[in-house]
Structure 1
Amino acid sequence: MFYTNITRIKDFFILGFSGLSPEYYGPVSALLFMLYVVIAVGNLFILIVVKCEISLHKPTYLIFCHLALTDLAFGTVTLPKIISKYWFNDSIISFYGCFVQMYFVHSLGAIHSFLLMVMALDRFIAVCAPLRYTVLFTNTTVSVLCGISWIMPMSWMVRVVLDASSLPFCDSNIIVQCYCEHIATISLSCENVRAVWALAFGLAMFSLLLPLGFVIFSYFVIIVVVTRISSSEGRIRTLSTCTPQLLITFLYYMPRCFMYMANDAGLPISLPVRIVVVMLYTHLPPAVNPMIYCLKTKDIKEKLKKKTFVSKFHISTKSG
């Protein structure tokens, strides 16, 4: 156990999965490493495919690129440190390194949430105003909206992290989490953190509930519009264009809403289980999202099939 009685500590200790036996350190680090490889390869693949295929330079796929970039960045910010803890027994993170990690962790989470709102707007216009879609929702419009989605959280998170880093830490420096999460870190302060927590909580709720509210509203309107389509084939075709966005949105919001409701309802969730659940809902979606983009999106799927066919054709020609 690491403790200090000075007002400015130099390092934090990442506890990781509470109660995990040392005999499982190897398998856990290998599993986390494989998870990071899947996140990195999958999201880099999406970025490269969309970049190289001019026919995919459309608003929907530009949004996918922004989402893939946030997923890749989030995995890169959080996983290497916890992997090194279990692989190399390196649990120490510097004081300022911890707050830099905190900044990117919470900024990227909020950015992803706002990007989901932009994605919902994309489907809203495509379904409700299909004839005006190409005019209302251009690549330039998407770039501006996505840029705002990045700039807003990154701006206000500076204040949140500066407030947290200015707190005196004079007792324990053990962060009971797999990375420097805001609440887990400021709870180590020996000063009243209510004001610091209230600001961060308010901004977190704003970045979660505003996009979620718009997403619910937009898909409600979409469902109403779809039910008015006369042919069943048209209804299915229209809904199928929303499937990737719905799956991605569900994977992001539902676990978070469940955890908030569980806290409010006073459900007895033990600390080890809570840490595992947080790691699952923050890292599994970045690993799964690229597969959703590829398998559930017609244009990307057709491009992959065409590339696979061409590759097989060249191989068979050479062998013949």
Structure 2
Amino acid sequence: MSDRNQTRVTVFILTGFPGLHPEYYGLASAVLFFVYFITVMANTTVFFLFATNRSLHKPMYYIILNVSACDLLFSTATLPKIISRYWFQSGSISFTACFVQMYFVHYLGSVNSFIFLLMAFDRYCAICHPLRYTIVLKNSTVHILSVTAWTIATIVPLMLVIRAYPLPYCASNVINHCYCDHIAITVLACTDRAPYSFPAFVGAMITLLLPLAFIVFSYCAILIAVSKVTDSKTCVKSLSTCSTQLIIISLYYIPRCFVYLASQVGITFNADVRIVIIMLYSLVPPMINPLIYCLRAKDIRECLVKQFCIKIGHQSA
């Protein structure tokens, strides 16, 4: 056996954005730190508003709380390491830590997908079956469905880690990405990837496309139900209650589906463009989702204004 086959990788190196010139490392770290800071502050604000206003203790807002928790955890699992890559020139990550990060990247992505399915189900029940809404979707029901989503989402990411961890990594240890994910890691294995990449692709499609299929069905049903309403004000009001969820769901699914479909039809991007696209759809939505809640969800907007007025009143007193 050759020396190459006897040597096993013990640490990986994250390149971040491969084509970024060193003189822009400081700017890159500052931008990424700003994104992380805003993400933490914005989603923490959602938690604070929820904890201090019982008017938000409704099924729809419990679902939004799940999205905020998922966004906060995903950003925390990915951003600190890539910030240190540019801030402290520390791009190395241990073998085990890389797989732990890979697990959480795919796990939290799966949780998001299932929570968006629950979000669509909430709007479907509210608009298509309004008389049964309070019976079908009680707070306790949302709690059970949310816990189920967080539990079921462990299956595919755990399978990915269990299958990828024992592979022989004996060549390059440089990961051309900003964080560890399944493709970026397994491409470095000294073995044929086909037996591992196809099941991973199937798992990704299950966690992505099955929820998406129900989401498309639910919103088609909503549009059909709304189109039968003769009162224009009621029609607009019904659609406006879906706008927040639809914007958030679109920000999550459209870029991901574009990247997956592009790869299947043979459209390729260079490493820099691909990583920028992935970082945009991975890290921008967690930062702007709370802004969408506050601008589009009436109850959250009113609670935010109330808290702001209370703070101003205390300062002026």
**Do these two structures clear the TM 0.5 threshold for a shared fold by scoring above it?**
yes
Distance 1:299 1:288 in 2: 18
1:212 Cα shift?
Answer: 0.4
The equivalent residue for 1:296 is 296
1:62 Cα shift?
Answer: 0.4
Q: Amino acid of the residue matched to residue 40 of structure 2? A: A
Q: Amino acid of the residue matched to residue 175 of structure 1? A: I
The equivalent residue for 2:261 is 261
RMSD of equivalent CA atoms: 1.3
1:49 Cα shift?
Answer: 1.1
* Mapping 1:200-211, distance limit 5 Å: 200-211=200-211
The equivalent residue for 1:146 is 146
Q: Amino acid of the residue matched to residue 206 of structure 1? A: I
The equivalent residue for 1:227 is 227
Distance 2:150 2:7 in 1: 34
Q: Amino acid of the residue matched to residue 103 of structure 1? A: Y
TM-score (norm 1): 0.95
The equivalent residue for 2:95 is 95
Q: Is this contact kept in 2: 1:25–1:86, CA < 8 A?
A: yes
Q: Is this contact kept in 2: 1:7–1:168, CA < 8 A?
A: no
Q: Is this contact kept in 2: 1:11–1:173, CA < 8 A?
A: yes
Q: Deviations over 1:126-148 (max 9, x none)?
A: 00111111111011111111111
Q: Amino acid of the residue matched to residue 251 of structure 1? A: L
Q: Amino acid of the residue matched to residue 48 of structure 2? A: I
1:171 Cα shift?
Answer: 0.7
Q: Is this contact kept in 2: 1:115–1:149, CA < 8 A?
A: yes
1:196 Cα shift?
Answer: 1.7
State which drifts further: 260-269 or 58-67: 260-269
Q: Amino acid of the residue matched to residue 12 of structure 2? A: F
The equivalent residue for 2:199 is 199
State which drifts further: 21-30 or 43-52: 43-52
Q: Is this contact kept in 2: 1:178–1:275, CA < 8 A?
A: yes
1:54 Cα shift?
Answer: 1.1
Is there any run of 5+ residues in structure 2 with no aligned partner, and where? Answer: none
Structure 1 residues 42, 6: CA separation in 2 closer, same or farther (over 3 Å shift)?
Answer: farther
Distance 1:45 1:207 in 2: 29
Q: Is this contact kept in 2: 1:46–1:290, CA < 8 A?
A: yes
Q: Amino acid of the residue matched to residue 299 of structure 1? A: D
Aligned with 1:241: secondary structure? helix
Q: Is this contact kept in 2: 1:187–1:193, CA < 8 A?
A: yes
The equivalent residue for 2:38 is 38
State which drifts further: 193-202 or 22-31: 193-202
The equivalent residue for 1:188 is 188
Q: Deviations over 1:85-137 (max 9, x none)?
A: 00000010000000000000000001100000000000000001111111110
Q: Is this contact kept in 2: 1:14–1:177, CA < 8 A?
A: yes
Q: Is this contact kept in 1: 2:9–2:171, CA < 8 A?
A: no
Q: Is this contact kept in 2: 1:29–1:86, CA < 8 A?
A: yes
The equivalent residue for 2:179 is 179
- Count of aligned residue pairs for this structure pair: 314
1:172 Cα shift?
Answer: 0.5
Distance 1:270 1:39 in 2: 28
Q: Is this contact kept in 2: 1:177–1:184, CA < 8 A?
A: yes
The equivalent residue for 1:167 is 167
Distance 2:296 2:234 in 1: 17
1:265 Cα shift?
Answer: 2.6
1:267 Cα shift?
Answer: 2.2
Structure 1 residues 315, 94: CA separation in 2 closer, same or farther (over 3 Å shift)?
Answer: closer
Distance 1:156 1:275 in 2: 23
Distance 1:224 1:36 in 2: 40
1:7 Cα shift?
Answer: 4.1
1:313 Cα shift?
Answer: 4.1
Distance 2:134 2:158 in 1: 36
* Mapping 1:119-134, distance limit 5 Å: 119-134=119-134
State which drifts further: 5-14 or 183-192: 5-14
The equivalent residue for 1:12 is 12
Q: Deviations over 1:145-198 (max 9, x none)?
A: 111111112133222101101000111011111000100100100111222212
Is there any run of 5+ residues in structure 1 with no aligned partner, and where? Answer: none
Distance 2:174 2:218 in 1: 43
State which drifts further: 77-86 or 266-275: 266-275
Q: Amino acid of the residue matched to residue 288 of structure 1? A: I
